Structure 1
Amino acid sequence: MTNPATHFSHAISRRPGASATKGLRATDRGAPDLARMRSAHDAYIAALRSTGAKVTVLDAEEDFPDAMFVEDTALCLPDGAIMMRPGAASRMGEVAQMRPTLAALFNDLRDIGGPGHIEGGDILFTGREVLVGKSARTDAAGVAELRIILDEWGYSLRELQTPEGVLHFKTDCSLLDPETILSTRLLDTGGCFDGYRVLHLPEGEEAAANAIRFNDVVLLPDGFPKTAEMLTREGYDIRPIDNTDCALLDGGMSCLSLRFNI
């Protein structure tokens, strides 16, 4: 039986809009190149589809520059989908734009009603538990509301702390298989991955931490040769994807899709 945290029948992504060049970023390192971003997004979608999954690509949302980072809008699990409540005020409207799409796919659709906040980028589902890192975008009240829903569905939630200066919990980690997590040493220092095998990012390549295991491939940001060599040596089938422009907006591989089974 395949693990619902690594193997998926469906994914949803959203085309980067022209307004994406105005997206949020912790540090301004220059504007993304829209044409290159769209080309990289096409490669990302092709990689997902190459595994046999059905991938829905939604139209761009020009009113929401960060809308291509769809992962922050929802948590999709075998039992249903939970609409998030982003911690960035400019992103609140993205959830309403995604809701009709998920309502057509999931019989059980829940909402984080507030006043707390939580974003999908802070949630790592491993198949056996749900790890949630509090951050600048996810607070204790948001985690508490998510816990109520997950308790009803029978999932264990473990509340953790995203290191200061790290945007999202999954900025610094990703699930490679049900027992193995790719992580920066910084995030792993607190022992949040006790019980898992942890592969640390090679020094200087910490920005490659946000990868995704999608069926039998691992989508990895391009340009990190030591990480690519390590994962290949460990037996993973990696697909490097240009993440140059999304990285300027603090985005990564997982941010660009919602992944689920229906």
Structure 2
Amino acid sequence: MTDHSYEFTRAITRRPGQSITRGLRAVDTGAPDLDLMLAHHADYVATLREAGATVTELPPLEDFPDALFVEDTALCLPEGAVLMRPGAPSRLGEVAHMAPVLRDLYADVRVIEGPGFIEGGDILTTGREVLVGRSARTDAAGVAELATILKDWGRPLREVATPPGVLHFKTDCSLLDGETVLSTERLAASGCFEGYRVILTADGEEAAANAIRFNRFVLMAAGFPATAERLRRAGYEVREIGNSECAKLDGGMSCLSLRL
């Protein structure tokens, strides 16, 4: 049986553009280096292909500096896709560019109409439920509208809290398989993963929590050796990918693709 929580055949990515230096960031740690970011992005796409993905690489959107973080624009499920409503005003227009791409791939595409906001970075789909974290970018009305859509598809939604000061729920967690989550200690301590097996990031390596499981690989940001070793000891096949430039814009592995 296919586990739709981590087994995929396609991925959608978008190359970063020159405008990336104007991307949103919680703390300014310097402008990203576009050439290095493009090299990392190419490694990411190549690894998805090695994992078995047919990858759609969309061109840069110079009017939307953060558009490479395609995950925030949609939720992709076997039943259909849901176009999100990003909570950052400068990112709202990205959804219209993603809509035709998803309508070519799905017969059923729903839309978060508002007034609420919700971003894909706050949504973790497991084998049994869809977890949605309330955050600065995802509010109660957005969560409620998504819950109504998912009810049509027979998928339960559970709302959880994102730790203070954390941009997205998935900044602090990722799915390793249908029953296992990689999480920071601060998020796991909330009890939101009760009933799941939890592997914690190593001390000082909280930024490793945003990874993705894509078929046989766990793609994680390079530079977190203790967490990578924990995952390997647990039996996962880990691929470490440079993420230094995306990290300057609060971006990680999950942000860079839609997986379906």
Indicate whether 1:171 and 2:210 are aligned. no
Q: How does 1:38-117 map to 2 (within 5 A)?
A: 38-117=38-117
Q: Aligned-pair distance for 1:128? A: 1.1
> Which residue does 1:256 correspond to in 2?
256
Q: Aligned-pair distance for 1:116? A: 0.2
Cα contact 2:131–2:160 (8 A) shared by 1: yes
The 2-side partners of 1:154 and 1:220 are apart by 31
**Residues 186-241 of structure 1, C-alpha deviation per residue, up to 9 Å, x if partnerless?**
01111000110001111000010000000000001000010111111111100000
Percent sequence identity is 67
The 2-side partners of 1:58 and 1:216 are apart by 25
The 2-side partners of 1:207 and 1:73 are apart by 22
The runs of at least 4 aligned residues of structure 1 exceeding 2 Å deviation read none
**Residues 126-176 of structure 1, C-alpha deviation per residue, up to 9 Å, x if partnerless?**
021000000000000000000000011000100011011000000000000
Q: Aligned-pair distance for 1:2? A: 2.0
Matched to 2:110, the amino acid is R
> Which residue does 1:208 correspond to in 2?
208
Q: How does 1:151-230 map to 2 (within 5 A)?
A: 151-230=151-230
Matched to 1:87, the amino acid is G
The 1-side partners of 2:175 and 2:24 are apart by 25
Indicate whether 1:25 and 2:25 are aligned. yes
The 2-side partners of 1:34 and 1:203 are apart by 30
Q: CA RMSD in A?
A: 0.5
Cα contact 2:24–2:66 (8 A) shared by 1: yes
Q: Which runs of 5+ in 2 are unaligned?
A: none
Q: Tell me the SS of whatever aligns to 2:55.
A: strand
The 1-side partners of 2:232 and 2:52 are apart by 22
Matched to 1:121, the amino acid is G
Cα contact 2:125–2:131 (8 A) shared by 1: yes
> Which residue does 1:237 correspond to in 2?
237
The 2-side partners of 1:127 and 1:243 are apart by 28
Q: Aligned-pair distance for 1:53? A: 1.4
Cα contact 2:127–2:179 (8 A) shared by 1: no
The 1-side partners of 2:228 and 2:77 are apart by 29
Q: Which runs of 5+ in 1 are unaligned?
A: none
Q: Tell me the SS of whatever aligns to 1:159.
A: strand
Cα contact 2:122–2:132 (8 A) shared by 1: yes
The 2-side partners of 1:200 and 1:68 are apart by 28
> Which residue does 1:12 correspond to in 2?
12
> Which residue does 1:135 correspond to in 2?
135
The 1-side partners of 2:51 and 2:181 are apart by 21
The 1-side partners of 2:53 and 2:146 are apart by 28
TM-score (norm 2): 0.99
Q: Tell me the SS of whatever aligns to 1:193.
A: coil
> Which residue does 1:126 correspond to in 2?
126
The 1-side partners of 2:135 and 2:112 are apart by 17
The 2-side partners of 1:106 and 1:134 are apart by 27
Q: Aligned-pair distance for 1:51? A: 1.5
TM-score (norm 1): 0.99
Cα contact 2:218–2:239 (8 A) shared by 1: yes
